[in-house]
Amino acid sequence: MPERFIGMGYWEIITRQMSIVTKSQQTRFKESKIGVIGCGGLGGSVIEMLARMGVGKLTIIDKDSFDMSNLNRQLMSSIDSLGKSKSEVTKENIRLINPYVKVEAYNEELNENNIVEILSDCDIIIDALDNLATRVLISRYVKENEKPFIHGAIHGTKGQLTVFNKETPSYEELFSLPSKGKELNKNTKLELEKISQEVPPVIGPIANIIGSLEAFEAFKLITGIGNVALAPKVVSIDLLDLSSFSCLDL
């Protein structure tokens, strides 16, 4: 470890990544505020990676509690956390991982009545959801308020992610959702629910891979390093299909 970081707390934690970014780039990340909607399979990985990379503040939202079926993929879950609030358990876990990260936890569902209050302070919003209606609500909010929106989704062994900003197609446009151009009322929400009625199968690694990739897209957006996966580009992988990865013969 470089001696200049010893005893500096925050900087000591992230010293191994300081050959990848400059101190000014990392400082931008240290001062950033990111909202993560969902603390489950995707969200747990997103939140943990953001904390380990040294994000400044996390706003996390989830109304659910942990149960046994979460243990196969949700990093914040454990036997001790069963029946406990996902957002509150996650907040405590992050305190133990990186105490320099400020965490604001909301044990409630994001909706039309609280979205402005909860997300207005965030620089970037990350989707770690499992329902379309809330994704649409968020995508409209970020488009109107010109905030970057990082989308991730998983099903079985497959996962995808993309990033939206004020210049890209919207989430509804890119995926040709039936809600596009309509008021987000009860009937529109029912149309969206018909698309995703099943409880999707999922295996742990894909949730954590896509969640980690979402976290790194946020890191790239804030620090300015690398190329961001901006819509209409969509990163898509299948753990059972090697052709979905870049493979080299050595």
What φ, ψ does residue 189 adopt, rounded to 5°?
Answer: -65, -35
R_g of the chain computed on alpha carbons: 18
pLDDT for residue 7 is more than 80: no
Tokens representing residue 10 in the block: 């925050």
pLDDT in tens, 140-164: 999 999 999 999 999 999 999 999 9
CA–CA dist 142, 129 (Å, integer): 15
pLDDT for residue 212 is more than 90: yes
pLDDT for residue 4 is more than 70: no
What φ, ψ does residue 67 adopt, rounded to 5°?
Answer: -135, 175
**CATH superfamily label, 21-237:** NAD(P)-binding Rossmann-like Domain (3.40.50.720)
pLDDT for residue 172 is more than 90: yes
Tokens representing residue 116 in the block: 């402005």
Neighbours of 5 (CB within 10 A): 16
pLDDT for residue 139 is more than 80: yes
Residue range 187-200: mean pLDDT, rounded = 83
Per-residue exposure over 172-210, b if at least 16 CB sit within 10 Å of its own CB, e if not: bbbbebebeeeeeeeebbeebeeeeeeeeebeeebbbbb
Give residue 52's Cα distance to chain centre. Answer: 14
Report the candidate in 4, 8, 53 with the shortest Cα–Cα distance to residue 28.
53
pLDDT in tens, 27-79: 999 999 999 999 999 999 999 999 999 999 999 999 999 999 999 999 999 99
CA–CA dist 207, 172 (Å, integer): 22
- The helix or strand, by DSSP H or E, that contains position 49, with its residue range, turns out to be helix 41-53
Neighbours of 216 (CB within 10 A): 20
